[in-house]
Amino acid sequence: MKIHEYQARDLFRKYGIPVPEGELCHSVDEVKKKVSDKDKLRVVKAQVLVGGRGKAGGVKLATTKAEAIEKAKLILGMDIKGITVEKVLVADAVDIDREFYVGLINDRNAKAVTLMASSEGGVEIEEVAKTNPEKIIKMPIDPTMGLMDWQARKVALQLFNDPKQIRQAAEILVKLYKLYIETDSSLAEINPLVLTPDKQVLAIDGKMNFDDNALFRQKEIIAMREADENEKKELEANAKGLSYIKLDGNIGCMVNGAGLAMATMDMIKLYGGEPANFLDIGGSSNPQKVVDAMNILLGDKNVKSVMINIFGGITRCDDVARGLVAALDQIKTDIPIVIRLSGTNAKEGLEIIEKTGLPVVKTMSEAAQKAIELSQK
């Protein structure tokens, strides 16, 4: 689960991490009411659950209240990566002397939460990893001990020279770790963490993700959920026993089993295609699951063809075939569908499919190539 920047800042503030003041506004009228008349430098920031706001024009500076109102008019209603901006954060701007990055992630290789920090703040950490990997500090944290004060100071020493700033930064790191653990986070970033000309260390932008499996015990966090269209689809799929994640391609995938789903996406990429989703119908032999899956797949306007790849074990191929026929009776579509069935009751399933006139192939590589070919017509 993701949250907006303004929500991350609220959590930072609750845990004692210093952040500039700001007002969340859903309309221009709210900007007029909530923002003080005092003229000062402010930043108006689109609140959307995607990156690239700055490049899209969703972050603008304003020197007066009137200018903040005008900037809000430009940003509200803007489209950023397919998402309409419905709210803005109007925050006090900060003079910046230096920018840093600090973050916490679940590191599977280290089998621990890992603290990452860099003197290259203000840009995506993935970009720093590509261009200046030596600039990234990594410290795995013992889960039985947590982030200890001396460890936080050790990292802060590699970012700052002044003892006062080292103490400020170390305190922020310890508080961020406490927030991370207590809210069952899977990602917590401050980017940038800044040093101001008057030598204050502040968090001026934040990002947090949370473990979906722990939300049942995080009432405050789940109340923050503002699902976008893609996340609503994922939640809808989950409620129907499907695992669905939307991607950026145009070839819809329906598969049983996460491993086969990953292999299917790899096969599509191998032959030059782009998968539109990860969709695992699981091991159930329930035709309704196929109907639900097809509804989700064909609801994506980017999908130009569909590849169905089923290996029957617990899942019976004839049940999948019946579900597909039922789905196509309900949903009238001209999107081409390619089917590969093997395993339990594959012969019976193929007989059902052949009566519909849909393309049937024998191998996964044939299915991928055929799906790509049809998507281009």
Q: Token pair 């309900």 is at which residue? A: 330
Instruction: List the binding residues for substrate.
Output: 256, 313-315
In the structure encoding, which two tokens stand for residue 124, read together? 């995506």
Residue type (1 letter), 206: G
Instruction: List the binding residues for Mg(2+).
Output: 191, 205
pLDDT tens by residue, 103-157: 999 999 999 999 999 988 877 788 888 888 888 999 999 999 999 999 999 999 9
User: What is residue 284's predicted lDDT score, i.e. its pLDDT?
Assistant: 63
pLDDT tier at 101, thresholds 50, 70, 90: very high
Instruction: List the binding residues for ATP.
Output: 45, 52-54, 94, 99
Q: Which CATH architecture has domain 98-224?
A: 2-Layer Sandwich (3.30)
In the structure encoding, which two tokens stand for residue 289, read together? 């699951």
Q: Single out the residue of 295, 360, 362 nearest to residue 323, CA to CA.
A: 295
pTM of the model: 0.75
C-beta of residue 86 within 8 angstroms of C-beta of residue 76: yes
Q: Which CATH architecture has domain 21-92?
A: 2-Layer Sandwich (3.30)
Q: d(Cα 240, Cα 235) in Å, to the nearest integer?
A: 9
On average, the pLDDT of the chain sits at 91
User: Has residue 273 got a pLDDT over 80?
Assistant: yes
pLDDT tens by residue, 144-199: 999 999 999 999 999 999 999 999 999 999 999 999 999 999 999 999 999 999 99
Q: CB pairs under 8 A, 24+ apart, for 178-183? A: 178/15, 179/11, 179/12, 179/14, 179/15, 179/17, 180/104, 180/113, 181/113, 181/146, 183/11, 183/208, 183/210, 183/218, 183/220, 183/221
User: Has residue 285 got a pLDDT over 60?
Assistant: no
229-376 and 98-224 share a CATH fold? no
Tell me the catalytic residues: 101, 189
pLDDT tens by residue, 3-14: 999 999 999 999
User: What is residue 142's predicted lDDT score, i.e. its pLDDT?
Assistant: 95
CA 246 to chain centre: 10
User: Has residue 346 got a pLDDT over 80?
Assistant: yes
Q: Where are the domains of the chain?
A: 21-92, 98-224, 229-376
* Superfamily of domain 229-376, CATH level 4: Succinyl-CoA synthetase domains (3.40.50.261)
